[in-house]
């Protein structure tokens, strides 16, 4: 149905080939051929208007005009339109459509809403609090944002660390349910994923405190080998069991700050996290180890205890040995689990 223009173009092509065949000349690319393959802006505008069922003319009398004539005037003496060459077919049509829309004609370019995988992409940001913010941007062939996508069905990832294909909103990507996503007007979709998720080692991996994802939007790869990794974050409430001679002694630990590898918090008797702390903790921690000192402050004493250990693969439990400056000078076991 791009009807009259393509009919005329077809006649030109047919006449050109029949003439060359008659005289036995080798086919050459001419300006006329380029017009056939790459219609100029007025012709493109005419087709867009026709597809949208919009008349070329608008308004009436002195207030009226003609969209195609406006496009021709805007094009000027060259066939470029708003700086876009007509040989860049999709971008050229998008530029014409954008101009017509600005003039009040509700046309739609063929590239509108069609994902441009090369122009789309994804980034991951370590928030330095154990969380990772993933931002996926979807752009169409006209360079405009694609909105209204469903991250749980329109996005998925493949992971080269723990081989497999994974969808958001499932147990394999915790913290990525529908209510966790934010859609921005620029076509960027963001989600802040669960704390320490990218610090947990996959089973069987000694150095897997990260993920490497290929990101797909509507089945097309938009970002390859995106590394997701976070600074380990220990802030939280922990229940501790420590061995003292032949007894298992319950304690609680509250880590309330963790900045640049340094931790501070409180230590108390029993597992009741609402209990009264008996002293303070301080120390250093990273993704794999902890070195923590407890200083008792609830009574007038110089008592201190020292805890060293490692962090489990899931990032939510620790264990090691402890000593103090009192009677427990031989290392004994301790462990604690985040609540």
pLDDT in tens, 131-177: 999 999 999 999 999 999 999 999 999 998 888 999 999 998 989 99
* Residue 76's pLDDT band (cuts 50, 70, 90): confident
Return the CATH fold of 121-228: Immunoglobulin-like (2.60.40)
* Residue 79's pLDDT band (cuts 50, 70, 90): very high
In which residue ranges of the chain is CATH 2.40.128.30 found?
236-338
In which residue ranges of the chain is CATH 2.60.40 found?
121-228
Does the pLDDT at position 9 exceed 90? no
Q: Could you give the CA distance from residue 172 to residue 165 in angstroms, rounded to a whole number?
A: 10
Return the CATH fold of 236-338: Lipocalin (2.40.128)
Q: Could you give the CA distance from residue 314 to residue 134 in angstroms, rounded to a whole number?
A: 21
Q: Which helix (H) or strand (E) holds 332?
A: strand 332-338
Residue 336 · residue 317 · CB < 8 Å = yes
How far is Cα of residue 307 from the mean position of the Cα atoms in its chain?
A: 39
Percentage of the chain beyond pLDDT 70 is 88
Q: Report the half-sphere exposure of 327 (CA within 13 A, side-chain side).
A: 2
Tokens for 126, please give them.
Answer: 């370590």
């Amino acid at each position: 149905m791009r009807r009259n223009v393509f009919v005329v173009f077809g006649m030109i092509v047919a006449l050109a080939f029949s003439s060359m065949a008659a005289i036995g000349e080798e086919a050459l690319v001419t300006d006329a051929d380029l017009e056939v393959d790459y219609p100029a802006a007025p012709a493109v505008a005419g087709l867009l208007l026709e597809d949208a069922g919009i008349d070329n003319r608008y308004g009436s009398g002195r207030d009226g005009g003609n969209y195609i004539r406006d496009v021709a005037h805007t094009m000027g003496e060259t066939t470029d339109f708003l700086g876009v060459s007509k040989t860049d077919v999709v971008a050229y049509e998008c530029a014409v459509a954008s101009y017509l829309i600005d003039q009040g004609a509700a046309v739609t370019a063929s590239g509108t809403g069609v994902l441009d995988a090369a122009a789309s992409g994804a980034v991951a940001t370590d928030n330095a609090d154990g969380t990772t913010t993933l931002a996926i941007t979807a752009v169409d062939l006209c360079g405009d944002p694609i909105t209204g996508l469903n991250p749980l069905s329109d996005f998925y990832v493949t992971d080269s660390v723990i081989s497999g294909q994974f969808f958001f909103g499932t147990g394999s990507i915790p913290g990525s349910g529908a209510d966790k996503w934010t859609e921005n007007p620029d076509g960027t979709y963001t989600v802040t994923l669960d704390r320490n998720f990218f610090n947990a080692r996959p089973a069987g991996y000694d150095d897997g405190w990260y993920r490497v994802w290929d990101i797909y939007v509507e089945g097309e790869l938009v970002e390859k080998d995106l590394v997701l990794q976070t600074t380990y974050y220990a802030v939280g409430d922990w229940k501790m069991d420590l061995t003292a001679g032949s007894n298992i002694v319950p304690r609680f630990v509250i880590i309330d700050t963790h900045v640049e590898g340094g931790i501070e918090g409180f230590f108390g008797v029993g597992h009741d996290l609402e209990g009264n702390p008996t002293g303070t903790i301080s120390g250093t921690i990273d993704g794999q180890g902890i070195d923590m000192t407890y200083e008792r402050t609830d009574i007038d004493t110089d008592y201190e205890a020292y805890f060293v250990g490692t962090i489990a693969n899931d990032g939510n439990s620790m264990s090691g040995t402890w000593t103090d400056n009192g009677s427990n000078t031989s290392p004994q076991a301790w462990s604690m689990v985040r609540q």
